[in-house]
Amino acid sequence: MNGELFQRVVAWVGGDPDENDRVTLIALLNDGNEDELVRRFAAPISFGTAGLRGPVMAGPAGMNRFTVRRTTQGVVAWMHDVGIDPARGVVVGRDARHGSEAFNDEVVAVLLGAGARVFEMPRPLPTPLVAYCVKAFGAGAGIMITASHNPPQDNGYKLYGPDGSQIIAPNDEIVEARASDATLPPLGDRSNPLHTFVSEESIAQYRSHFVERFAVEGGSDLKIAYTPLHGVGGETMISMFEEAGYRNVVIVDEQFTPDGTFPTLPFPNPEEPGALDLAIARAEATQSTLVIANDPDADRLGVAAKDDEQWRTLRGDEIGWLLASALLPEMDSPDDVVATSIVSSTMLEAMANDAHVRYVATLTGFKWILRAAGDGVLRFGYEEALGFAVDPMVADKDGMSAALAVCRLAHELSVQGLTLFDRLDEIEGRFGVHAGGQLSIRAEGPDGLTSIRAAVERLREAPPATLGETEVTEVVDLSKGCNGLMATDGVLLRLGTKGRVVVRPSGTEAKLKAYIEITAPTFAGVPISIQRLVAVAQVNEVREVLQNLLKL
């Protein structure tokens, strides 16, 4: 066995606090299983989208107690480095994934041992509550143990700064560097006076704020089927529905109790085909007209609705347009800002310009969207991956408050005899058809990320002149920046007046993703549905060409 690898494994085992993980690694050493040890040690898990995500397993390439312990030491050192007083406190939360309780305990123990004040969530709760509490308490940071919508074998570690938003560079680099220097830390326990559980009153204040903002006066008879997809959003979301006046909400029983195995779903992501099938079946059985779904940590929102006799799952962009149509009329200050990412639809820009509200396009991810307003106030931000921020009280995407906002719009339309699809027709009839689609290619195995980067590089070096019948009019290398945005790995293909394609690696999973948008003005006398079908056919053609072009 490689001597350097052997020494690294021995050193890791010497500091690992988890007996089972130590036994696993020692067994791999004794068996001489170098391939498996290389998998666990060659590429340590690193900070990506404001934190860590990866498989729960022993070794530095996995999420485990030792990784969490070292990372938390890195967070404490980062706070000192950038001048955040640990006495302001750190909000600590977790979801119900495998390992979340143990990882939560490690975070609390390391923080208390370092002399930091801790505000600990009383039980597994949604991610937006951590972001909310950071701002509400004036805390110095927030840590959430979650892998959001990742596959069941994953877990993660999300870090918020004192403004309640996800950290960005160079803060993530500081945390990672300081974590790599971590030693065996002193540990505290919950008897420490610096420890406090977040009160039920604080959680109720979160609910009250959004209920007051989006409640239906006099209550609503709108029939809603709701699922948290085996995650932690169910209890909070049902309370918010009741308090906001929705009398006819049914749950998907098989998916309501938190369960980190996600037994009814291959991937617990409301974007995935089939993820809402059980909810739609429940809605059909109860004559509901709207399906609301949260992902496992409830920071994302999925929506399906009945269009005549057919159920249709809305794209993230469509939900974004619907929310914008409801929220833009409320904005009357020059400080108000709306924002979305460069991979999301360009429709929001047109809607904002028409409403005389400032629009900003950002890099992909809510850590950028939430900073789009600068000195202004972000009143609405979204990204096509089902992330929506509908109120500045939470400086991150929030699938629960967004759910209430969608339901209020659906209620108001229903009173007029209209549906969400009628509103979408109205929007596209005014601003043009904006058909969108995605191509997502999952990379398997230890060389997956390398193959993804290679595919993007091939596209950068040899871009196509056409995508089917659609001409590529401009190629933009996003690694060199674009329109004042920071450099990011990806390629933008402009299709003249017909739309654009963005190809980039996923920030949270081993996937290569392409985001396609085909746009066209509408024509009087031709039904929107027909014009939309033409644009969708172009999207499908572009997707098919990209599928062959981007093979891993």
First to last CA, the chain: 31
Q: Is 108 exposed, middle or buried (0-12, 13-18, 19+ CB in 10 A)?
A: buried
Distance between alpha carbon 391 and the CA centroid of its chain, in Å? Answer: 17
| 151 in Cβ contact with 260 (< 8 Å) | no
- Rounded to whole angstroms, the Cα distance separating 362 from 369 reads 6
Written as one letter, the residue type at 16 is D
- Rounded to whole angstroms, the Cα distance separating 436 from 429 reads 16
Q: Give catalytic residues, as residue numbers.
A: 148
Rg (CA), the chain: 24
Residues 6 or more apart whose Cβ sits within 8 Å of residue 16: 22, 25, 58, 64, 65, 66
Residues 6 or more apart whose Cβ sits within 8 Å of residue 58: 16, 18, 20, 21, 22, 24, 25, 40, 64
Q: To the nearest 10°, the Cα dihedral for 266, 295, 317, 54?
A: -70
- Rounded to whole angstroms, the Cα distance separating 29 from 36 reads 10
Residue 68 CB-half CA count within 13 A: 34
E strand intervals along 117-206: 118-120, 141-145, 154-160, 195-197
Closest by CA to 385, choosing from 262, 488, 543, 269, is: 269
| 60 in Cβ contact with 52 (< 8 Å) | no
How do 301-307 and 290-294 pair as beta strands?
antiparallel
- Rounded to whole angstroms, the Cα distance separating 405 from 407 reads 5
Structural tokens at position 206: 């979160």
CA distances, 338 to each of 168, 292, 353 (Å): 20, 24, 10
| 336 in Cβ contact with 376 (< 8 Å) | yes
- The crossing angle, in degrees rounded to 10, of helices 3-15 and 19-31 is 160
| 214 in Cβ contact with 408 (< 8 Å) | yes
Structural tokens at position 376: 């202004």
Q: Is 204 helix (H, G, I), strand (E, B) or coil?
A: helix
CA distances, 56 to each of 27, 52, 409, 418 (Å): 18, 11, 40, 47
